[in-house]
Structure 1
Amino acid sequence: MIKKYNKPELLAPAGGLEKLKIAFQYGADAVYFGGKAFSLRAAAQNFSYEDMEEGIKIAHSLGKKMYCTVNIMPRNEEIEKLREFLKKLEEIGIDAVLVSDLGVFATVKKHTNIPIHISTQANTINYEACNMWEGLGAERVVLARECSLKDIKEIRKNISKELELEVFVHGSMCMSYSGRCLLSSYMTGRDSNRGSCAQSCRWKYSLMEEKRPGEYFPIEEDSNGTYIMNSKDLCMIQHIPELMEAGISSLKIEGRNKSEYYVAIIVNAYRKAIDLYYSNPENYELPKEIYNEIYKVSHREYNTGFFFNEPKADGMIYNTNDHIREYDVVAIVHDYNEKTQIALCKQRNKFILGDKVEILTPDSVGDSFVIEELFNENGKAIEECPHPGMMCKVKIPFSVEKNSFIRKKLN
């Protein structure tokens, strides 16, 4: 007998306002984002106050939510600015903030009425810690990525029904414990615990013997060398039933620094998988075409992280730090004329007449066609679309909507 929990929230990354719009269009129930300060993704586009206000209006008009990450460990001199930042978040109607520092938690409680979610950076791995956070006033805990499904079920049994649990189910993994890493700070001066990780763990390393300075010995598995700390990407789309039966309230996708296409394709795949499961749990089976979608975006080798067992060598990639990329996004649809079947598009990568391409939309997966008619923005026939960012017009023999992606399989 399948234990029935409420359908979980699908939570998507929003590195900027356009990604927020695409995340909602492709099926996210909520997004998480960072402001220009106090977030652990300094390299992301992040949100200005104006962007936050617009994003909140969009989200709430759709019945969706926005959560702001305030998960750095602030210094003394930052506390006053933090108070001001939090008050502005409350003014615009933010749905929750994610925090990991007790001082930030106390500041939120003292100066605002914003709901609090505990960030994965707080390293919560047991039910007593969850109960403690709830006792302090938290509404949700984002569990550490080191929790197994068994751990999550045990936690769920020993906490109140009101406390929500959130877990990461897809995206990059960190070789350090829940992201608590000093490697980047030591090697580059960029502190990963303040949002500036240089991903030093993914670099190629060699050994140097003390008495042979300048003579490097590769740590090698093969001729490519070894990337001894380069972890695989997390992917749990094949295990939707197990996630659903664990009592998780929110399934989280990593990737605030990733592309709009990444957000669209991954959110779309998980949205369809979750909805299919809840339409018929007893007979659920992940369709092959949905599973195949997650391989049509740039990624590292996939792995299930800590959900089933503690990853050892099978969780690492030792021979390269390159991503696997089998498709290029060649254009994004800006408008479509149903009568003429002409789509106004913005070019992303070169494509030409005769190319066989696929379309990703929120409603369809992998519909393909051959480009038989191609025009520049002014309607003049052209044979290729070579210039990054150029506007062009493409005849698409079926209806598509704004923010549909045209992609081409690489040879």
Structure 2
Amino acid sequence: MKKPELLAPAGNLEKLKMALMYGADAVYMGGKAFGLRAFSDNFEDIELKQGINFAHSLGKKAYITINIFPHNEDLPDLPDYIKSVAAMGADAIIVSDLGVFRIAREVAPTLPVHISTQANSVNWSTVKFWQELGASRVVLARELSLDDITLIRDKVDIELEAFIHGAMCISYSGRCLISNYLTGRDANRGQCAQPCRWKYHLVEESRPGVYLPVTEDERGTYIFNSKDLCLINHLPELIDSGLNSFKIEGRMKSVHYVATVVKVYREAIDSYCTSPDTFHIKQEWLDELQKVSHREYTTGFYFNKTNENDQIYTSSSYTQTHDFIGLVKEYNSETRLAVVEQRNNMKVGEEIEITQPGEEPFIQKISQMFDAEGSSIEVAPHPQQIVAMPMAKPVKPYAMLRRPEIRRER
């Protein structure tokens, strides 16, 4: 059995480091141009190089997104950008457009090219076409079933990648014109305004101002709003299908989201590959995926055509059970004090949970806190305030502090 790559999103350098420390085999990230997440933090050129180097220092990989559908005015700077990415040591670029693919092969012929899900590869002949052109991997369209994926695997000899967790786009593999039509922001050039998450009413042309119900008991509905993809319960089938890479969506998601989701899938994949005959889904994995900000979960197109049960009609809200409140920067094993960067208001006496790479989470109370000058404090209210606090167990850098809460909409 070949263990699939676990591929994580990296919206900025901190998220990249967290994803890799929590168990990702590779990350995908975008520069300030030519990617489909223009409103993510993204990376300056020097940060791209730092991210690639950090991944390589851990024996892991970094892929760069160049997956917009460019117009003529986007092309002049593209060859130099591709050459610079290749010179940085990127392990591959991810592209959607044949024109971008042609330029990449011309200016950086040894740079591996992955074909984005935006290219809508839904059959084995299309995948074979990309293979014959020289692509090294195809990210399959999200509209495929597991049976479709298995058939494609049998027909081609190229790496296959598929999304296994994260937000779902209402449009065909993300190729959407609604944002451009309503706001002038082109989703296919990285500027999506996410109008699929807006609330809509039905208005009949001759009766302006009369908002007709779209569903039985509401005057408005989120008719485009998909549930989030989650395939943790189906890892054995996914691994057995022969997919080479499992992709997590979320370059615009939080540090807490990226680290938590990566950790869950890392543990589950390793558990199955170590002992497939005794593998079972652990409740703590399911619980962890409820702690991060998410919509209700669905299996998407993997096992059936999507229907009304895969949509959320009443709200575009997210839910989560825990707040991310701090990130461990250092730990002194003699004093048992951790240096923590505050990410949300926290107080002495609160019960918190600590999760960290490669370890089981544990719960403790904040018994004391000290500010940067060593003075005792009761509360840390300032964003990214540096505090020290005793830890019940040893912790590592990149450990996260979370505060359990009553589940609520966000």
- TM-score by length of structure 1 reads 0.96
Match of 1:268 among 263, 266, 271: 263
Asked if structure 2 preserves the Cα contact closer than 8 Å seen for 1:361 and 1:405, the reply is yes
In 1: Cα distance, 2:388 partner to 2:177 partner: 49
Could you say which residue in structure 2 is the equivalent of 1:168? 163
Match of 1:399 among 387, 394, 397: 394
Match of 1:139 among 132, 136, 139: 136
Gap change, CA 1:106 and 1:302, over 3 Å in 2: same
Asked if structure 2 preserves the Cα contact closer than 8 Å seen for 1:305 and 1:311, the reply is yes
Is 1:298 matched up with 2:293?
yes
Could you say which residue in structure 2 is the equivalent of 1:217? 212
Q: Report how far residue 222 of structure 1 moved.
A: 4.2
Is 1:22 matched up with 2:18?
yes
Gap change, CA 1:223 and 1:410, over 3 Å in 2: farther
Q: Report how far residue 247 of structure 1 moved.
A: 0.1
Q: Report how far residue 16 of structure 1 moved.
A: 0.9
Aligned residue-pair number: 405
Query: Which residue identity is paired with 2:351?
Result: K
- SS of equivalent to 1:325: strand
Q: Report how far residue 175 of structure 1 moved.
A: 0.8
Is 1:231 matched up with 2:226?
yes
Is 1:156 matched up with 2:165?
no
Asked if structure 2 preserves the Cα contact closer than 8 Å seen for 1:224 and 1:319, the reply is no
Match of 1:118 among 95, 115, 120: 115
Q: Report how far residue 374 of structure 1 moved.
A: 1.8
Q: Report how far residue 80 of structure 1 moved.
A: 2.4
The runs of 5 or more residues in structure 2 that have no matched partner are none
Is 1:127 matched up with 2:127?
no
Asked if structure 2 preserves the Cα contact closer than 8 Å seen for 1:170 and 1:235, the reply is yes
Gap change, CA 1:385 and 1:221, over 3 Å in 2: farther
Residues 1-400 of structure 1: pairs in structure 2 closer than 5 A: 4=1, 6-112=2-108, 113-160=110-157, 163-222=158-217, 225-400=220-395
Quick check: 182-191 or 334-343, which moved more? 334-343
Query: Which residue identity is paired with 2:400?
Result: F
In 1: Cα distance, 2:224 partner to 2:360 partner: 35
- TM-score by length of structure 2 reads 0.96
Q: Report how far residue 220 of structure 1 moved.
A: 4.2
- Deviation per CA, 1:337-383, whole angstroms, max 9, x where unpaired? 11111111111112222211101101223310111112222222222
RMSD (Å) for aligned C-alpha atoms: 1.3
Query: Which residue identity is paired with 1:49?
Result: D
Q: Percent identity?
A: 50
In 1: Cα distance, 2:188 partner to 2:135 partner: 22
The runs of 5 or more residues in structure 1 that have no matched partner are none
Query: Which residue identity is paired with 1:289?
Result: E
Asked if structure 1 preserves the Cα contact closer than 8 Å seen for 2:212 and 2:219, the reply is no
